[in-house]
Every structure is written in C-alpha cells, then in structure tokens.
Amino acid sequence: MSWIATTYLGAVQLRKEAVEQWSRPFYEAFCAGCWLLHFTEDTLYWVSKPPVFVERVDGSRRLHREDGPALESDVENLYFWHGVLVPAFVVTRPEWITMVHIRNEENAEVRRVMIERMGWDKFCAEAQMKLIHVDELHTWFPNIPVSETVDAGARLVTHYREGSERAELLEAEGLFDFEDRPLRFVRLTDPSTGREYTIRVRHDHTRCYEAVGWTFGVSETDYKRGKYLRQGDVFLKPLSGGPLQQQHS
C-alpha cells in the first residue's frame, strides 16, 4: 500500500486527474492505517499497519520485545530478541526450550539466543557440560561505557583499570558437531561489566586462552600479553609498560 499510495502524490503533482480518481482511495486508506491488500476472485482482504517494538542501540533501532511479539500483524506475529528473529516460545515461554531445540536449530544466532533464554546453569546441566580448563587474565581493561558522542565503530576508550577476566573451557557431552565431536565453549566474565558470555571454539582446544586467542587469529601467549585485546569493534594494543591504547581495526 505504501508504494501504491505514492501514485496519488505523483498524479497530483502532474495534474493527472484520471490517475487521481483511482489512486486517491488507496492513498486515503494507507493514511488511515491500511498496510497490505490481497485480492481473490470474490474478496478483498486488507491488513492494518503492524505495531512494532524496538530498542535503541548505538543510535539505531532494532526489533526487540521481552513479553510478546516485536511485530504484531494480522497475518503473523513475529518475535525478535535483540534483533534476532526467533520462534515465539523462545520469548514467551523460555522454560520450554530443550536441548533438542538447540541441537536441531541450524541458525547460530538463534541457538545463541536459545541458550541465553534457557539460562546458562540449566544449559550446562542438560548439555552435560564438563570442565576442561580454568584460567584468569590479569591486565588493563577499558572502562565501559565509552564515549557516546562518536559512532560506534570509532569510539574512544578514555579510561582503563586493572582487572581480572576469568575463563572456563567447557565441553558439552550432549551436543555434537557434524562429525559427532563434542562441542567446546569458553565461558568468560567481562571485568568491566561483570557480564558473562560464551564463545564457541574448536573441538581440539585444551586451554582457555589458546581458544580465545584463536578467535582473533593470535597465539595464547600474544593474547595474554595484551597485544590483541578487543573491545567492541576496536582492537587495543598495550603501551610499553602501561595501559592499553586504541588501534582501529
């Protein structure tokens, strides 16, 4: 309807009266809330504009709602979790999520949301998670939040503080890859925010920061020296004998 409605605006500008006559009802219907039309041989169906629920992230908007559909439509309600399209129960009934759902889900982002909504403790229990290795990284970390006055990809970290990041290398005996190898994860605790997050690593990693360094394409030694610590879309390099300075990737 939004596309057809613009025909009326062009007809008015060009003084095409014949086009105005048929396009004006479309324009008025769109302004009144009609979003979509569907014709059959004997019936015309119309759908109203869908209400949407969003969250603001770095000055932009993404679909998100914690207690219902992020897009309410007469055709189909759509559910989003921080911008990721997910099945309805992932939002409204997270207690229904099982390892079967996670194992059968092909989309990596949806799997990640399922694990988040299921809860890490329950996921570890049902995935039969086994602890392989524990380590800690002691270094300088950027204080968050960073400056909000510049674009997300070019933000400046203005302050650093010493901190410790705890890492756990875990193997899920109840989840397997396409070659029937148990999946391995590294669970990290962000020293700036206290927030825990999980990254998927290779099945043959045996040390926490060997695995984390691999995700950045560097060795465990280089990562633990602080040469390639990453915050957001910015890589950070250490000043000699002091805290980190920013280097854009």
Q: In which band, very low, low, confident or very high, does the pLDDT at 40 lie, cut at 50, 70 and 90?
A: very high
Tokens of 215: 């995700």
Q: Where are the domains of the chain?
A: 2-48, 57-118, 127-248
Q: pTM of this prediction?
A: 0.59
pLDDT tens, position by position, 4-38: 999 999 999 999 999 999 999 999 999 999 999 99
Tokens of 167: 């890492």
> How far apart are the C-alpha atoms of 31 and 23, rounded to whole Å?
13
> How far apart are the C-alpha atoms of 120 and 186, rounded to whole Å?
12
pLDDT tens, position by position, 201-229: 888 999 999 998 888 888 888 887 764 44
pLDDT of residue 139: 72
